[in-house]
Structure 1
Amino acid sequence: MSTLPAPPAGGFCAQAWERTAGLQQAIVDHPFNKALADGSLEREVFAFYIVQDARYLVGFAQALSAAATRADDAADAAFLAGAAQGALVEERRLHAGYVAEFGLTDEEISGVDTSPSCLAYTSYLRSCALTESYPVLLAAILPCFWVYQYVGSKILDATGDIEGHPYKAWITTYADDEFAEAVLAARELVDKVAARSDDATREQMFAAFTRATEYEWVFWNGAWTKETWPTAKFLG
């Protein structure tokens, strides 16, 4: 787990995490992440998750790119644009490795419907990018950074030696210091923007952070159940 320093206590991020502490624990305790941690997660469930996550990353990258165009600081814009590129390149490289490992073909991948939860989460981020203020958009983006780093670090702490672990690549991606540095930068950016926002905007930021965190739980739950559209049976 990263030993990088946290932003000062009392800022927006500290308060947002405190408000969602029960939900953060529920995410760690979700059966998907419990099975991921002990290595018992069924390969077909993880493969379904990887397909959905690759599709989610497109919407996430679009939201990051939109935020980058609104940043009034060159360094902030560069960070957000770089994160968008990372979502489409670096993380999808990990997904491609798993897809190759599982022997999935392009036809099999395209044959998997985008789940209701995946579509809802990406649609929410795209909606924030189009209709919300810059501070609120940043708050909606933050959970994807932070929650993944938190879950990855918790799993690594609980598991210890992950040599030979079937999901070692996933765990090390989200539990290492390089990713933690990106999360810290994202938190510092959100704290900075929140500090110069009015009370009404900060409350909107809290609502966006909470909703996006709820979508994180919903997304993992959808993967765990291999969620499908209940209306499919009416469409032949």
Structure 2
Amino acid sequence: MSFTKQLRIENEDVFQRIFTHPFVEGIGKGEVPKEALAHYIKADYEYLNAFMHVYGLAISKSPDRQSIRLFHDQIGFVLNSEVHPHHNFCEQIGMSYEDLQGYPLPPTADHYVKHMLYHAHHGGIGEILAALLPCPWTYYEIGVELMKTYQPEDSHPFLTWIQFYADVRTKTLTNLLCEHLDAYAEQASESEKIKMREAFRKSCQLEYSFWEMAYTQEEWPAEEEVVR
């Protein structure tokens, strides 16, 4: 069994919690509070900016052109394609995409970004891949689950979002990341594989927490509360 298949089995509990989160189920039902959608877009826009920076750090550590091409293509996907599901959410809340950009990251998203940057700076390519992989992987499986469970019609408010993540291109990009991580895992020591497992697990958990953060519209505590 490949390393990434093992990771998927080990983290089945978190994947299932993500699939049944009220925000994710709300996308399938076409019923998500507008405030939660806006909070999600504000955080995800800045999170994806950081995600591209992590891919850039991975390029700087890449040993060959194949790896450089992989991370370059992933940056292109985020930069040029992943705006479409954001626009779908914006249409549903009647706000422009530009008006939801430039906001500070909420606590959970801030932690997630710093978690990835830690592994990007201190880990090798395998460790970086393990930290990055849960984001595209969980989104692809969310798309597939929502298509299967709700079978959205053309009139569904979030059809564009669901179709985007269930699409074969998202699957292909995710599979490429899995193949590269498997290749690095074959050469990795046991201690390195432990770090990869830990990075992957925490990213899965933070994916769940990101949905919760958006749904509850998480904010930083007020300054006076911190002092108290």
What TM-score do you get using the length of structure 1 for normalisation? 0.88
C-alpha displacement at 1:189, in angstroms? 0.8
Which of 171, 177, 199 lines up with 1:180 in the alignment? 171
Q: Which residue of 2 aligns with 1:217?
A: 208
- CA 1:156–1:233 in 2, change beyond 3 Å: closer, same or farther? farther
What TM-score do you get using the length of structure 2 for normalisation? 0.91
- Identity in percent: 25
C-alpha displacement at 1:234, in angstroms? 4.6
Residues 28, 34 of structure 1: 8 Å contact kept? yes
Which of 63, 66, 70 lines up with 1:79 in the alignment? 70
Letter of the 1:211 counterpart: K
Which whole-Å deviations, capped at 9, do the CAs of 1:175-233 have from their partners, x for residues lacking one?
01111111111111111111111111011100000011111011000001011112345
C-alpha displacement at 1:101, in angstroms? 5.5
Q: Which residue of 2 aligns with 1:36?
A: 27
SS, match of residue 221 in structure 2: coil
What pairs up with 1:41-120 in 2 under 5 angstroms?
41-96=32-87, 98-99=89-90, 102-104=93-95, 109=100, 112-120=103-111
- Cα distance between partner residues in 1 of 2:143 and 2:88: 18
Residues 90, 97 of structure 2: 8 Å contact kept? no
Residues 156, 162 of structure 1: 8 Å contact kept? no
- Cα distance between partner residues in 2 of 1:103 and 1:119: 26
SS, match of residue 133 in structure 2: helix
1:196 and 2:191 are equivalent in the alignment: no
- Cα distance between partner residues in 1 of 2:155 and 2:72: 35
Letter of the 2:34 counterpart: R
- Cα distance between partner residues in 1 of 2:99 and 2:169: 33
Q: What residue ranges of structure 2 are gaps of 5+ in the alignment?
A: none
Letter of the 1:131 counterpart: H
C-alpha displacement at 1:113, in angstroms? 4.0
Q: Which residue of 2 aligns with 1:4?
A: none
Which whole-Å deviations, capped at 9, do the CAs of 1:42-74 have from their partners, x for residues lacking one?
222112211211111011111111112222231
Letter of the 1:82 counterpart: D
Q: Which residue of 2 aligns with 1:146?
A: 137
Letter of the 1:11 counterpart: S
Which whole-Å deviations, capped at 9, do the CAs of 1:103-144 have from their partners, x for residues lacking one?
435885358542111111111111211122221111001101
Letter of the 2:32 counterpart: L
- CA 1:107–1:182 in 2, change beyond 3 Å: closer, same or farther? closer
Q: What residue ranges of structure 1 are gaps of 5+ in the alignment?
A: 1-9
